[in-house]
């Protein structure tokens, strides 16, 4: 029996929890993080899935680059996008990327979960309710994927794509606004959790490089709330309650 594979990208655990649940329900499924998977050989998989957060109404830059780099064989292709409530092009963009490879997404769905973009807002009071709703929906989504159901995703809105492209163009510059306060205890967690290895500890302080994907893991998980953007200091932190920092750290 051929295996399945799910690629995920996740800063604060929503997409990881979803990817993990679907992988467990399917069985016989490799679960791998996108930053670790460039150059992967896909020719022995029956179902290939992508689980990721929606950024500025579209696909995160690293997810876009990853799909563009893949050699995709004929297989059942699915995507699950997580978001804070405004999905916009988030699923349609991945469909377009896959269509550009001569395939189309067989099944796609969007899940509203806790919003994590602390540069704009703190943890919402609705986060728990959204996550509980997702937990209810996941068994049916996994069954649909197991049965190779078809759910087409449509084409992206080109105006929206311009908006997302603008974000993607500047995404690596975000860390210019990040400040590390004296509350930092030099624990090194931020450097370990950054999914793209964009943080290095130098002289016991985190130093940011130029590869930030704006996943928010470092701001949300710092135990001292020592990493901040210009307006985040008083904002309530968020990460998925069933996902720990250890779950997200690249092995
Ligand atoms: C840079 C950035 C942009 C975001 N843009 C959107 C958006 O356009 N629409 C939306 O509903 N949520 C948006 N969000 C929220 C995330 O999509 C949502 O919280 C997601 O489930 C986080 O997944 P993760 O925990 O796996 O990282 C954004 C988050 C970030 C960090
Ligand atoms: S996680 Fe926070 S306390 Fe730990 S090194 Fe990073 S900034 Fe400092
Ligand atoms: S520097 Fe922080 S926000 Fe940027 S990718 Fe790394 S963990 Fe995510």
Task: Examine the domain organization and report whether 79 and 37 are in the same domain.
Answer: yes
CATH number for the domain harbouring residue 228: 3.30.70.20
Nearest residue (by CA) to ligand 1, atom 2, is: 55
Task: Examine the domain organization and report whether 158 and 117 are in the same domain.
Answer: yes
Task: Examine the domain organization and report whether 127 and 211 are in the same domain.
Answer: no
Nearest residue (by CA) to ligand 3, atom 2, is: 218
- The Cα–Cα gap between 163 and 146 comes to 35
CA 198 / ligand 3 centre spacing (Å): 6
Check whether 155 has a pLDDT greater than 80.
yes
Task: Examine the domain organization and report whether 128 and 58 are in the same domain.
Answer: yes
- The Cα–Cα gap between 24 and 177 comes to 39
Q: Which pTM does this prediction carry? A: 0.98
Task: Examine the domain organization and report whether 153 and 133 are in the same domain.
Answer: yes
- Looking at the structure of the chain, the number of domains it has is 2
Check whether 150 has a pLDDT greater than 80.
yes
Residue 117: CB within 6 Å of ligand 1? yes
Q: By percentage, how much of the chain surpasses pLDDT 70?
A: 100
Task: Examine the domain organization and report whether 179 and 159 are in the same domain.
Answer: no
Q: Write out pLDDT tens, residues 6-48.
A: 999 999 999 999 999 999 999 999 999 999 999 999 998 999 9
Residue 180: CB within 6 Å of ligand 2? yes
Task: Examine the domain organization and report whether 89 and 196 are in the same domain.
Answer: no
Check whether 251 has a pLDDT greater than 90.
no
Specify the pLDDT at position 215. Answer: 98
Task: Examine the domain organization and report whether 16 and 119 are in the same domain.
Answer: yes
Atom of ligand 1 nearest to the CA of 58: 8
Task: Examine the domain organization and report whether 133 and 55 are in the same domain.
Answer: yes
Locate 83 and state its tokens. 């978001």
Q: DSSP assignment, residue 72?
A: P
Strand (E) or helix (H) holding 53: strand 45-53
Final residue in a domain of this structure, among 128, 163, 198: 163
Task: Examine the domain organization and report whether 60 and 155 are in the same domain.
Answer: yes
CATH number for the domain harbouring residue 140: 3.40.50.360
Q: Write out pLDDT tens, residues 81-92.
A: 999 999 999 999
Specify the pLDDT at position 1. Answer: 80
- CB proximity list for 246: less than 8 A, separation 6 or greater: none
Degrees to nearest 5, angle at CA 50 with 45 and 54: 175
CA 150 / ligand 1 centre spacing (Å): 26
Task: Examine the domain organization and report whether 192 and 86 are in the same domain.
Answer: no
Final residue in a domain of this structure, among 145, 163, 181: 163
Final residue in a domain of this structure, among 163, 184, 214: 163
Whether residue 166 contacts residue 123, with contact meaning beta carbons closer than 8 Å, is answered with no
Averaged pLDDT, 214-232? 98
Task: Examine the domain organization and report whether 65 and 143 are in the same domain.
Answer: yes
Check whether 250 has a pLDDT greater than 80.
no
Shortest-distance ligand to the CA of residue 184: 2
Averaged confidence pLDDT in the chain: 97
Structural domain range at position 50: 3-163
């Amino acid at each position: 029996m051929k295996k399945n594979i799910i690629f995920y990208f996740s800063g604060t655990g929503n997409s990881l929890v979803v990817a993990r649940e679907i992988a467990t329900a399917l069985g016989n499924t490799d679960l791998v993080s996108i930053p670790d998977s460039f150059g992967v050989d896909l020719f022995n998989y029956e179902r290939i899935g992508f689980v990721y957060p929606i950024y500025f109404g579209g696909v995160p830059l690293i997810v876009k680059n990853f799909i563009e780099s893949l050699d995709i064989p004929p297989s059942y292709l699915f995507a699950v996008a997580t978001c804070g409530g405004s999905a916009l092009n988030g699923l349609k963009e991945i469909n377009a990327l896959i269509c550009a490879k001569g395939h189309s997404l067989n099944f796609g769905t969007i899940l509203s979960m806790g919003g994590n973009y602390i540069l704009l807002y703190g943890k919402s009071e609705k986060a728990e309710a959204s996550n509980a709703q997702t937990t209810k929906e996941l068994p049916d989504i996994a069954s649909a994927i197991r049965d190779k159901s078809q759910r087409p995703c449509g084409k992206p809105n080109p105006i929206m794509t311009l908006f997302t492209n603008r974000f993607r163009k500047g995404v690596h510059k975000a860390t210019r606004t990040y400040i590390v306060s004296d509350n930092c205890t030099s624990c090194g967690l931020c450097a370990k959790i950054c999914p793209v290895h964009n943080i290095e500890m130098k002289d016991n302080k985190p130093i940011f490089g130029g590869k930030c994907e704006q996943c928010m893991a470092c701001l949300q998980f710092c135990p001292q709330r020592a990493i901040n953007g210009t307006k985040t200091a008083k904002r309530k932190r968020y990460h998925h309650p069933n996902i720990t920092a250890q779950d997200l750290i690249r092995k």
